[in-house]
Chains A and B, each alone.
Chain A
Amino acid sequence: MPVVELSYSRLQKLVGKVSKKQISDSLPFLGLDIESEDKDLVRVEYSPNRPDYSTDFGIALGLQGLLGIKTGAIKLKIKKSKKYLISVKPDVTKIRPFVTGIIARNGKIDDKTIKQFMAMQEDLHFGIGRKRKKSSIGIHDLDTISFPLTYSTVDRNHKFTPLNSENASSITDILKETDVGKDYGHLLGNSSKVPIILDANQKTVSFPPIINASMTTVTTKSKNLFVEVTGINKDDAEDMLSVVATILQKAGFALESVQISGAKNSTPKLEERKISVNVDLINQTLGLELKIPKIISSLKKSRLDASSKGKNIICSIPAYRFDIFGPMDLVEETALGYGIQNLEPMLSPSQTIGEMNPISLELKSLGQIMIGLGYLESLNSSLTSKRVLYDMVNRNSKNIISVLDSKSQEHTILRDSILPGLLENLSKNIHESYPQKMFETGTVFTLDNPISEKINFSCISVHQDANFTEIKSILQSALKTGFDIKIDTKTTAHSTFEQGRCATVIVNNEDVGVIGEINSKIIDDYKIRVPVVGFEISLSDSILKSF
C-alpha cells in the first residue's frame, strides 16, 4: 500500500484547533495505518481506493470531518472562464485520446507543498493511473504558458527541453535517455507520432504521459498553476483531475475552468453524484439502530452531504470520491463517520454444528500414527527449486511446473514429490544427533488440464543401521493401523533409490509409490554420512477414504 509522509505541525495548521494526539489517535479511523513516527513526522499507509489521502491536504479534509471541525461534502468552487482553451486534434485519438485540465490561481507554494504535490502525482500515476497507462498528470506554472493550447501529436524528432534538463532533446532521445522515458516509453508503442501539448507560440508544454517541459517548471515562486490530465478514458482522466482539483483548493488556490473541445473531448464538469441508501440497509449491515439524523451527521463526518426522503438517505458525493460505487459504500461511510470504535462487538449464537473436513481428520490420524512410530513431522513449501526437486535426486524434470518471475530462487517450481524436500532437510541437519526420522504429508502438483493436486505421504529414516526392512515395516504398520490397508512391494528401479534395494508399493493391485534405500551418491552429494531409507506414496487415489 502507498505511504505518505506527514508533519503533525503542518496538519495542525490545515485541520484547525486540534492537538497532535487527537490527530494521531484519529488517523487509523480514517483507514490510515501509522507506519512510523519520528517527533513531528509521521508516515502513514493509505488505501489505494482513497487517492485523496496521498497528500496532507486530503488527509486534513478527512480529519476535519472525523473530528467534527468541518463536516459535509467538499464543494469545488470553479470559476467559469473563457480564457483557457485546449483544442484537441483527432490524431491523438489512436494513442491517448483524452485531455482535461484546470487552472489554480493565487496560491502559495513552499518547499513542503511542492514535495506533497510531487508525492501525490507519483501516487496517482502509480495507483489509479495504473503506472500512467490509464491517466497521467502534468502540473505547470501557468504564467509561463500562452493559451490557447493544442493537444495533438508530433513526430519523434520533435525537440524541446524536458523537465530537469537545460538542453533541448528529441522525443527519441528523451525516451532513450531519461529514466521516465525508459520506464514509460512503452506506453506509446511503436507509433511514429507521440502526444504533445503545445502552447499558442508552439512551445512544448508537456509530452504526456512521459514528461513536462522545463519551461513550465513549478517553483516556490509560482503563484498560478495549470494542471492537465491525459488518458485513455475520459472518465478516468476526470477522476484524476477531481482529486488534484480538490487538493489544490484545500491548498488555498482558486480554481478556474479550462475549456476543452475537439475529437470527442469536452470541458470537465467535476460534478457531484447522488446515490441513495436505505436506512434499513445501514442498520442491518452494521447491527445498529441509528436514527436518520444520526446517519446524516455520520455521513457528513465522512465528508458527504446527505438528506432524507422517507426511509432513504440521499447522498451527494463529490467527484473525487469515485471509490463509492453504490449504497453499500455509503453504509461504510456511515460506519466511519459514526466511529468504528463506537461499534460494540456482539457474538451471535451459532445455528450450525461445525465439523472438520474429513481429509483433515484422516491426515491428522495418520500424523498421530507416525508419531507413535517415532517419526517427527516436517513441513516444506510446495514451491521449491529445480535443484532440490530434480537435480539433486536424479529425477527427470520434463513435466516441470514453473511459476513466472519468482523473486526467490529457491521457490520457482511446484513440487510433484515430497521426498526430495525431506532429503534436503537432512543435509541441513548433519550436525544433529541420529537417528533422524521424519515424515511429511502434503499436496503435490502434476500437469493435468490444467493441474491436478493430490496428497502424498513421505517418510525417511536415517541412522547407522537404517535398512529396507525397517522402512517397509513402518509403511506396513502405518497403513494397516491407519486405513486397514495391506501393502505389497515389488522390485523396481528408481533413480533416487539404490539399485536392487528399491520397490514399487502396491495397494489393491495399484502402484501407489516407491520405497527403498536412497541412492548413495545422493547421500554423498548432500554430505550425509549415514544410510537413508524412505518411501513416498500417494494417499489420494486408493488410501484416503474421503478424498
Chain B
Amino acid sequence: MSQVFHDIEKKIIVSLKDNPKQTPESLEKSTNLSPDQIRRGIEWLRLKKLANVDESKTSTISLGKNGLESLQKGLPERRLLDSLSAGSKKLSDLQRELGSIFGPAMGLSRKNNWVEATSDQISLKTNPSILPGEKTLKQIGDKKLSQNDIDKNDLSLLLKRPDFIVEDIIKTRIISLADSAKSLDISDSSGAIDVEAKVPEVFVARTHPLKDTLDEIREIFVTLGFSEIIGPMTQSSFWNFDALFTPQDHPARELQDTFYLDGISAKKIATPDQIRKVSESHKKNWRYNWDIHEARKMALRTHTTCVTIQHLAEKKPDEARIFSLGRVFRNEKVSYKHLVEFNQIEGVVVGKDANLRNLMGIQREFYKRIGITKIKFWPTFFPYTEPSLQTMVYNERLGKWIELFGMGIFRPEVTKPLGITKPVLAWGGGIERIAMLKYGLDDVREFYNNNLNWLRSATKCQ
C-alpha cells in the first residue's frame, strides 16, 4: 500500500519537488499554509525521515540609528566637506552648522588630511568622490544583509562608530526532501487517512486501583471457600478490645493509638452473660478492676477482628470459613508509610481439627495466588491469639523480606467466655501494603489522594 499523507504533507512535498531547498517562510508562500501548519507538516515529514531540516545560523547586519541618519543626510565628514566646498569657514560657524556631528567629522577629516585648519579658519584641501564607509552604507541601505556579502574593510570602519551597524544572529531552517521522498507518489485519492499518525489521549473511566486489589483479594477468599461478613467501623471498646483479651490498661487502648469518638458511649454492648464472662477472664488473668465504662467507649475499630469475633460469638459455628474486609483506624502520624485509615483483610477458619499447619497452609496458598511464593513464618505476639505467627514475604523489587499478615489461634481466654468451643484460626493484615507492592508505590498516601494523573495512568492489570 502506498503511504498515506496528510494534505499538509502533500502540499509541502509538492512545493519541495519544484523548489528543492526552501525556508519555512517560503513554503508558507508557495503552499498557502499557515506558519503552524507548515511547522507541523515539517515535523511529521522529518519524523518519517522524508524531509531534511538543515538549521544554519547566519550573522546579519543592518543600519542602526546613526547609520540610518547618515544614509539619509550623508556621513558626518561628508557633510563637513560639502559644507566647505563653497569656501573656508570659521570654526565657530561650522560648529553651529553641524552641531553634535562636528567633533567626529572634524577629527576624521583632519586625520585624513581632507581639511586644513589655520587659527580659527577651516578650509577644504580635497573632497574625495567616495569616502570610506559610504559604499557599505549605501549597500546595506534599509535591508538586512549577510556579513559575507559585504566588503569587510569598509564595514569595519562603520562597526567602530556608535549605533551605525546592528549585528543579528539569524537561524534559518532550510527544508529539503530526503532522497527517499523524491520519488514518492502523493497522488493517492482513495480517501485513506494517515493511520500511523499520533492521536490525542483519552482517559478511561475505571475502578480505583486499590478497589481492584480489594476485589482481587475478595475473590481469592471466595474461591478458597470463605464467605464475606461485613460489620460496623464504629465499635464499642468491648468488642474491639475486651472481648479480645486486651486489658483495659493496655497501651494499645490509649488515646494516642486508638481513635475514640468524643463523648460517645454505647448503652448496650453485649449480653449480660458475655459481659460477665469476659470481665471475669480479665480480672482473673490480668489482675485488675475491670470497668464497664471503659468497655462502653465507642472507638473506630483498630482491626476487623471485632467483626469476626461478634459473628462467632453470635453463631457459634462448629465449622466455618469467613472473612471480613474493610477499613480500620489507627491514631498515627500520616506519612509515606502510615495512614490513619486503611483496609484490612481478616480470615477465620473454625473447625474441630483446625490447626496451626492448616493456618500456615492457607497463608501459603493465598500468597501464591497474589504472586508471592517466597514466604517464611516467624513467631510473634498478639494479645488474643496463641500460638501467634507472622508471615514474612520476599519482595524482589525492594530486595528484602517484609512483614505481611499476622496470624494465630484464638486464645481460650477469648473463645471460652463467648461460648466458642472449636479452635478458631485467624489471620489478617493491611491491604495497602500489598497494593503498594503491586503498583510499585513508595508512598501509601497516593491511594487516597485521588490524583487524576495517577488514577488515569496506573496500569490496571499488574
A→B interface (CB under 8 Å): 28-31, 33, 47-50, 126-127, 130, 133-134, 233, 235-236, 284-288, 325-329, 331-332, 335-336, 340-341, 343-348, 350-357, 359-360, 364, 367, 370-383, 401-408, 410-411, 414, 425, 428-429, 432-433, 436-438, 443, 445, 447, 449-451, 453
CA distance A7 to B265 in the complex (A): 48
Is A405 touching B255 in the complex (CB atoms < 8 A)? yes
Q: Which of B205, B229, B453 has the most C-beta atoms of chain A within 10 angstroms of its own C-beta?
A: B205
Name the contact of A379 in the complex, choosing from B261, B412, B448 (C-beta under 8 A): B448
B264 and A401 form a contact (CB under 8 A):
yes
Closest B residue, CB atoms, query A34: B401
In the assembled complex, the Cα of A343 lies from the Cα of B334 at a distance in Å of 38
Chain B interface mostly helix, strand, loop or mixed? Answer: mixed
- Across-interface contacts of B356 in A (CB, < 8 A): 285-287, 335, 343
In the complex, whether B215 has a CB less than 8 A from a CB of chain A is yes
Query: Most B CB atoms within 10 A — which of A407, A425, A437?
Result: A407
Query: Which residue among B229, B327, B392 has the maximum number of chain A CB atoms within 10 Å of its CB?
Result: B327
Complex: chain B residue closest to A233, CB-CB? B287
Contacts of A353 in B (CB 8 A): 225, 227
Number of A-B contacts (CB under 8 A): 257
Contacts of A433 in B (CB 8 A): 203
Contact A285 B355 (CB under 8 A): yes
Q: Tell me which residues across on chain B come within 8 A of A372, comparing CB atoms.
A: 205
Query: Contacts A328-B386, A376-B203 given; 12 further ones with Cβ under 8 A?
Result: A31-B378, A134-B249, A288-B357, A327-B412, A345-B377, A352-B225, A352-B320, A371-B205, A403-B259, A403-B300, A406-B340, A449-B267
Q: Are A406 and B331 in contact (CB under 8 A)?
A: yes
Interchain CB contact under 8 A, B287 and A354: no
A364 in contact with B215 given A285-B409, A345-B363, A450-B261 (CB within 8 Å):
yes
User: B267 to chain A: which residues have CB within 8 Å?
Assistant: 449-450
Q: Which B residues contact A (CB, under 8 angstroms)?
A: 203, 205-208, 210-211, 215, 218, 221-230, 232-234, 249, 251, 255-256, 259-262, 264-267, 285, 287-288, 298, 300, 319-321, 325, 327, 329, 331-334, 339-341, 351, 353-358, 360-365, 376-381, 386-389, 392, 403, 409, 411-413, 423, 447-453, 455-456
Question: What residue of chain A has the Cβ atom nearest to residue B352's Cβ?
Answer: A284
Selected from A127, A346, A379, the residue in CB contact (under 8 A) with B208 is A379
- Please give, as numbers and ranges, the residues of chain B lying within 8 Å of A373 by CB-CB distance: 205
Q: Is the CB of B205 within 8 A of A437?
A: yes
Q: Are B228 and A376 in contact (CB under 8 A)?
A: no
Q: In the complex, which of the residues A370, A379, A425 has the most CB atoms of chain B within 10 Å of its own CB atom? A: A379
Quick one: given A28-B378, A347-B364, A350-B225, are A428 and B449 in contact (CB under 8 Å)? yes
Known: A284-B355, A382-B327, A401-B264. A408 touches B259 (CB 8 A): no
Q: By the criterion CB–CB under 8 Å, are A287 and B210 in contact?
A: no
CB pair B360 A432 closer than 8 Å: no
Known: A33-B403, A371-B207, A450-B298. A344 touches B259 (CB 8 A): no
Q: How far is the CA of A32 from the CA of B260 in the complex (A)?
A: 31
- Whether B208 and A383, one on each chain, are in contact in the complex, defined by CB atoms closer than 8 angstroms, is no
| B298 A381 Cβ-Cβ under 8 A | no
B380:A47 contact, CB within 8 angstroms: yes
Contact call B379/A29, Cβ cutoff below 8 A: yes
Contacting residues, chain A, for B259 (C-beta < 8 A): 383, 403-404, 406
Residue pairs across A and B with Cβ atoms less than 8 A apart, 7 shown, are A332-B379, A348-B358, A351-B351, A357-B230, A370-B205, A428-B449, A451-B264
> When chains A and B are docked, how far (Å) is the Cα of A285 from the Cα of B387?
9
Chain A nearest CB: distance from B334 CB in Å?
Answer: 5
Query: Which A residues touch B229, using CB under 8 A?
Result: 357
Could you say which of A284, A331, A332, A402 has the most chain B C-beta atoms within 10 Å of its C-beta? A332
Residues of B within 8 A of A364 (CB): 215
Beta-carbon nearest neighbor of A441 in chain B: B211
Q: Are B260 and A375 in contact (CB under 8 A)?
A: no
Check A347–B358 contact: CB distance below 8 A: yes
| Contact yes or no, A404 B357, CB < 8 A | no
Known: A345-B364, A347-B362, A429-B452. A411 touches B215 (CB 8 A): no
CB atoms of B449 and A346 under 8 A apart:
no
Q: Please state if A432 and B261 are interface contacts (CB–CB under 8 Å).
A: no
Assess whether B360 is in contact with A379, with CB atoms less than 8 Å apart: no
* Contact A29-B378, Cβ < 8 Å, known A352-B321, A425-B450, A428-B449: yes
Asked whether A404 and B233 contact (CB < 8 A) given A340-B377, A356-B222, the answer is: no
User: In whole angstroms, how far apart are the Cα atoms of A325 and B450 in the complex?
Assistant: 48
With A335-B356, A354-B227, A382-B327 in contact, is A429–B205 under 8 Å at CB?
no
Contact partners of B339 in chain A: CB under 8 A = 381
